[in-house]
Chain A
């Protein structure tokens, strides 16, 4: 009667066992440092342009929108605070994670999916290499290192974007904006701003690898796996950020 529950439960179980194996391999040799470096380049350096661009414009947009609301209270000078808190706590991590999910969860899923349908994964196992060790763990490590860094860059560029608008259209002074932005941030904000991308990194890399490795049905299957990876990773990013925000809001 409850047969319809079998596939999703089995999928969750498979996902957790993949995650467990990938984590265990971090502490087991052989380590494929070349692959880690290559993935860091693809995921980190490769995502830089789009992260800088979106980070900048999100700061610009927040400043423009907020300045109108703040003007009603004559508090336009406080705009730096709002930009800093929104970006560091929420928008920086989530926007960066969504972009990296779109760029790299899809990339990982399609690459591993193509390898799966052309029997390269089987060949790897037949030739004595653990595909999880060789493919999943390096991608997971690379994403976990690079995503927090990308988030820091996005946060900074976003606050800078806010500054450009504040300085040129709201006629605030540099020190007014930057002091306000700097003083608004607490230790708690920095922690959640860096913990979130770290958690998102696991979701993005493991979801990408998971859908890639269970691809079946030829090239059509690769397309399906790619789409599923992006959708599932994005949804989980929103679910996890809500949970983490809830925890951190209660803490402070």
Chain B
């Protein structure tokens, strides 16, 4: 697997401009804007019902905004038809909240789905098997090839979902609450996989989550390709031999469809706003 290097370093990968989404009378997103360039990590925190999932689906074009524009890889996708969107969506990996696996087909077929269904790049059947095995090995589930999603535990389903999201080696991956409903140990495994994907493929990563620890891990750890382990990032040099550090993680906090905070981890921890500080565990 090699890192996709087709994107120039500072090209905009995902940009939302003044997005508003309404469901009947309910405002799900209100005037939301941000820009992610290649290699960025953005963690969106928010309580349930704050519009996190809607944000993700709007970015993918699954929900059309009532106002504002969405740009993917510099192209305005706001008014694109579903068919036009398919080509662009094949550049985006996505993990849905419960994994979103198709439960009528096996794990291997699930992971192969994005490869087989893509019209642009056709992959030969032999390569498909190889890529599927690679992707499942990446999430350490290569023994589950012939199982059905219903036979897997919640954490395993989430990992298969990650394998399916990254099997096409997309330059942008979106994660919807990857750790929701998981025990802390499994949650940590999942986040480590996400960091590993980010740092081994230089993937632009958008995570929406309720857990501050998820963001902390993304901001302070990086995957070391030579040792195969996560290691703390030392911002003042060090570990230079093993590739560059990921860029600083941007945090965003959402409340009732609006972005109430955007900034670095330090700024987030320093915030005195009552809603925002609820997400940050008190340091004793």
Q: Give A contacts to B, CB under 8 Å.
A: 115, 118-120, 122-130
Contacts and interface: CB of A to CB of B under 8 A. Distances in A.
Contacts of A129: 117
Contacts of B57: 122
Given A120-B101, A122-B62, A128 B96 contact: no
Interface string B251-267: 00000000000000000
Contact size range, B: 20 to 34
6 contacts: A119-B96, A119-B98, A126-B89, A127-B114, A128-B90, A130-B82
A122 B117 CA distance: 15
Contacts of B113: 127
Contact of B114 (A120, A125, A128): A128
B94 interface: yes
Nearest to B86: A128
B125 interface: no
Contacts of B101: 120, 123
B275 interface: no
A124 B117 CA distance: 10
A118 B150 CA distance: 12
A214 B98 CA distance: 19
Contact of B89 (A118, A120, A127): A127
B128 interface: no
Contacts of B94: 123, 126
A128 B98 contact: no
A231 to B, nearest CB: 24
A126 B62 CA distance: 7
Given A120-B102, A123-B102, A125-B89, 7 more contacts: A119-B98, A119-B100, A122-B96, A123-B101, A127-B114, A127-B164, A128-B117
A119 B96 CA distance: 7
Contacts of A115: 102
Given A122-B57, A122-B62, A128 B100 contact: no
